[in-house]
């Protein structure tokens, strides 16, 4: 897998994931919507950790500025 996410993209995704988790755990969001958002938060954290977004690949998108890191 090539990296296709830059640092800013990774940080934003991690912040959004933590925010969703906090909202879910404090029962601000609940039910089916809460579970869907919690799953999305997990995906955001996973993609942030591996620096690869599968949705970027088919479109050839990359927010990674360092061409050496993409290998």
24-50-4 Cα angle (round to 5): 110
45 occurs within a structural domain: yes
Residue 19 Cα to chain centre, angstroms:
12
Interhelix angle 7-25/31-50, rounded to 10 degrees, is 150
Encode pLDDT of 17-53 as tens digits. Answer: 999 999 999 999 999 999 999 999 999 999 999 999 9
pLDDT of residue 70: 53
Judge whether 28 lies within some domain: yes
For the chain, first and last CA: distance in Å?
8
Q: Is the pTM of this model over 0.85?
A: no
Report pLDDT for 10. 94
How many domains is the chain built from? 1
Average pLDDT value for residue range 10-21: 96
Domain around 28: 7-57
């Amino acid at each position: 897998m090539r990296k296709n996410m830059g640092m800013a993209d990774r940080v934003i995704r991690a912040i959004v994931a933590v925010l969703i988790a906090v909202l879910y755990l404090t029962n601000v969001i609940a039910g089916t919507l809460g579970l869907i958002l919690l799953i999305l938060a997990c995906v955001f954290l996973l993609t942030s950790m591996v620096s690869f977004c599968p949705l970027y690949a088919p479109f050839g998108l990359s927010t990674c500025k360092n061409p050496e890191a993409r290998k």
